[in-house]
Amino acid sequence: MTTQNTRRALTGGTLAVLAVLFVAVIALANNLLRGAQIDLTQNKLYTLSEGTEKVLGEIDEPINLYYFFSDKGTAEIPQIRTYATRVREMLEQIARRSGGKVKLTVIDPLPFSEEEDRASGFGLQAVPTGPAGETIFFGLAGTNATDGQMVIPFFQPDKEAFLEYDIAKLIHSLVTTTKPVVGLMAELDIAPGFDPQTRQMRQGWAVFQSLQELFEVRTLDPRTTATIDEAIKTVVVVHPKSLTEDAQYALDQFVLRGGNLIAFVDPNAELDTTAEDPNNPSAALFASRSSNLERLFKAWGVAYDPAKVVLDAEYALQVQTQTGAPVRHMGILGLREAAMNQEDVVTAQLGTLNLSTAGALRMAEDAALTLEPLLQSSAQASLVDVERVKFLPDPSSLFADFTPSGENYVLAGRLTGTAKTAFGERAGGSHLAESKQPVNILLVADTDLLSDRLWVQVSNFFGQQIMNAFANNGDFVANAVDNLTGSSALISIRGRATSARPFTTVEALRRGADERFRATERQLNEELQETERKLNELQRTRADDASTLLTPEQKAELDRFQKRKLEIRKELREVRRQLDADIEALGWKLKVINIALVPLLLTLGALGFAWWRRRRPAAA
């Protein structure tokens, strides 16, 4: 065998060995390094937050997670499959970081299989995807050592920002098996009780019944409360109209030692019956229905005027007047998604919230705490005296001298930071002058949103109460309490960026094309309108004339107008086609680069390497 043939054989054998070795390394890496990654994404999508790490550190007994995903059933649904990969990677990351405390099982529930029955048994949602009744599963079930069970029925792609929070919350719920304890300090008749006016037992508000289903609710008397039990994790204060100083001090110290607070204040609580006197009905008309936490607000740097109400022309709801005609009321607001913070778990995914005669929250210039808006008015809003909305037979009168300020008023917000006591004169014992950790307080400048009339219809069906919600007020309250009753680690997990990245270059091209061509379109439209106007005048002149024949000059003018009209319409169609011309050009460039240029460069590189290898023996 010649030296050249030997060299060729060795080269071929080496390439074969390298190919086998490459395949073996890839197969080994897929098994040994599965889930290992370096997170180079801009928003650290694949790095767990500190809060999730703390939740995992609190696990004492093993947690089993069962990830049900219809892999074969979603073969023709690429959007779901892409998000399913994101969910699986997140679950694998959590299982790996838990140190073996979280055990993940991935299951493909095929139709008519035991796995499908198991998914249904957990309570996961089967979503129909085809005309023949095909369904898919895309959810998570978790169990603990004491037969506790929690599920995420279906992973919704539009909730990707809260994926990590939802999974961490499920794990935290399995670790903490008892109902969280919530304290309720209310000066409105929210809870069931005896009504002295009707001398009958009254039903509690629907929002109170919802809280009782989720939490252990303990009532705190605003007149006698001096301390708050350490078992209570969150206190809900509603309409603090006449809290004693001891009750305010109890709230102050509760917040400073790490408790969470939700406070509902109101410049005009329409269901406030504390001032009503059966012997003097007119007294209730002039009694104040406002509430405030003035001393605590001052210490926290919150500026709130209980004598001002927010009017909003954009979110004004229609109400029935005494005459029966529907009229928009600028003091009764129907907030939509644009008014809600979509990056906070409390308000994200809510559709509608109804408020009535709400106040506004601000922060003082020297405030140490930070107020993050949860609910805001539109820019078509203004502040007016609370007396404007009282004794109002015709709500349309609010529009008479209304002038919007252009400011988006904060109707509800999350207060965070290091707080100081509002009772600096007190000392000794367990008194705290400053919070041990950043506080977490939710402030809402309206109490009427809690009332049934603004969000739910309650009916009696064979002795059982049926609730039909027409707004998300109840969900808002449940989300707020649920968020704050979790551990501090869970509260710290906020909405994160999604994996979907916008085509910024395409959007910039679209905006540029729109700006460039819309001006031409407007100009042509104006010319078209002028041409049509002249045509109409010419036709009218012809109709007024006794003669039905056109003069040569009139006929020439008419032909010119009609020809120009057709030309303008053609130009308008061309303008509309050009709106996407740059985007299509960019698409072609990317296709050329990906399909032709990159393979061409690789081919040239390979040919150059082969030429170089051939030249080496010749040179030797």
pLDDT of 450: 96
The predicted model gives 232-240 an average pLDDT of 95
3-state secondary structure of 70: coil
CB 359 within 8 A of CB 265: yes
Q: Is the pLDDT of residue 3 over 70?
A: no
The count of other CB atoms within 10 Å of the CB of residue 155 is 22
Beta carbons within 8 Å of 119's beta carbon, 6+ residues apart: 68, 107, 109, 126, 137, 139, 141
Separation of alpha carbons 63 and 615, rounded Å = 64
pTM given for the model: 0.67
Q: Give the pLDDT confidence of 263-309 residue by residue, as tens digits.
A: 999 999 998 877 555 566 566 667 789 999 999 999 999 999 999 99
**What amino acid is encoded at 558 in this protein?**
L
Q: Exposed/middle/buried for 104, CB within 10 Å: 0-12, 13-18, 19+?
A: middle
Q: Is the pLDDT of residue 507 over 60?
A: no
Give the model's confidence band at 41: pLDDT under 50 very low, under 70 low, under 90 confident, else very high: low
pLDDT of 362: 96
In 197-242, at which residue ranges do the beta strands (DSSP E only) sit? 200-202, 216-219, 232-238
Say what the alpha-carbon torsion angle 367, 371, 375, 376 is, to the nearest 10 degrees.
Answer: 50
User: 370 has which bridge partners?
Assistant: 416
pLDDT of 291: 95
CB 388 within 8 A of CB 308: no
CB 558 within 8 A of CB 538: yes
Judging by DSSP bridges, how do beta strands 193-195 and 135-143 pair with one another?
unpaired
Closest by CA position to 246, among listed 233, 228, 259 = 228
Separation of alpha carbons 148 and 168, rounded Å = 16
Judging by DSSP bridges, how do beta strands 316-320 and 410-417 pair with one another?
unpaired
Per cent of the chain over pLDDT 90 is: 42
Separation of alpha carbons 221 and 270, rounded Å = 21
pLDDT of 562: 73
Beta carbons within 8 Å of 349's beta carbon, 6+ residues apart: 158, 159, 162
pLDDT of 58: 86
- 165 token code pair: 């929070």
3-state secondary structure of 130: coil
> Distance of CA 603 to CAs 129, 599, 608, 610, 614, Å?
44, 6, 8, 10, 17
Q: Is the pLDDT of residue 322 over 60?
A: yes
CB 63 within 8 A of CB 144: yes
CB 409 within 8 A of CB 383: yes
Per cent of the chain over pLDDT 70 is: 76
CB 86 within 8 A of CB 163: yes
Separation of alpha carbons 447 and 208, rounded Å = 13
Give the model's confidence band at 553: pLDDT under 50 very low, under 70 low, under 90 confident, else very high: low
pLDDT of 432: 95
Region label for 248, one of left (φ > 0), alpha (ψ between -120 and 50) or beta (otherwise): alpha
- 264 token code pair: 């509902």
- 254 token code pair: 């509760």
Separation of alpha carbons 66 and 375, rounded Å = 36
Start-end of H helices in 378-503: 473-485, 488-492
Give the model's confidence band at 393: pLDDT under 50 very low, under 70 low, under 90 confident, else very high: confident
Per the CATH hierarchy, to which homologous superfamily does domain 50-175 belong?
Answer: Glutaredoxin (3.40.30.10)
The count of other CB atoms within 10 Å of the CB of residue 151 is 18
Residue bearing the bigger pLDDT, 136 or 467: 136
Locate the domains of the chain by residue range. 1-34, 50-175, 182-275+284-306+358-378+405-485, 504-579, 584-620
pLDDT of 112: 86
- 89 token code pair: 């990677």
Q: Which residue, chain included where needed, has tokens 């680690």?
A: 489
Give the model's confidence band at 480: pLDDT under 50 very low, under 70 low, under 90 confident, else very high: very high
Judging by DSSP bridges, how do beta strands 439-444 and 410-417 pair with one another?
antiparallel
Separation of alpha carbons 618 and 614, rounded Å = 7
Report the mean per-residue pLDDT for the chain: 82
Judging by DSSP bridges, how do beta strands 149-152 and 181-186 pair with one another?
unpaired
Residue 550 CA from chain centroid, whole number: 67
> Distance of CA 358 to CAs 293, 364, 427, 470, Å?
15, 20, 36, 20
Q: Which residue, chain included where needed, has tokens 């990317």?
A: 590
CB 411 within 8 A of CB 358: yes
Residue bearing the bigger pLDDT, 277 or 326: 326
The predicted model gives 3-29 an average pLDDT of 69
Separation of alpha carbons 358 and 448, rounded Å = 8
Q: Is the pLDDT of residue 419 over 90?
A: yes
pLDDT of 165: 83
Q: Which residues of 32-58 are buried (b: 16+ CB within 10 A; e: fewer)?
A: eeeeeeeeeeeeebbebbebbebbbee
- 101 token code pair: 């405390």
Residue bearing the bigger pLDDT, 58 or 406: 406
**From 204-208, 294-298, 390-394, the region with the lowest mean pLDDT:** 390-394
Separation of alpha carbons 22 and 18, rounded Å = 6
pLDDT of 303: 95
Continuous segment of H or E residues that includes residue 583: helix 581-591
pLDDT of 618: 58
CB 255 within 8 A of CB 261: yes
The count of other CB atoms within 10 Å of the CB of residue 318 is 13
**From 68-82, 205-219, 479-493, the region with the lowest mean pLDDT:** 479-493
Closest by CA position to 481, among listed 272, 246, 217, 173 = 217
Q: Give the pLDDT confidence of 329-349 residue by residue, as tens digits.
A: 999 999 999 999 988 889 987
Q: Which residue, chain included where needed, has tokens 């999350």?
A: 414
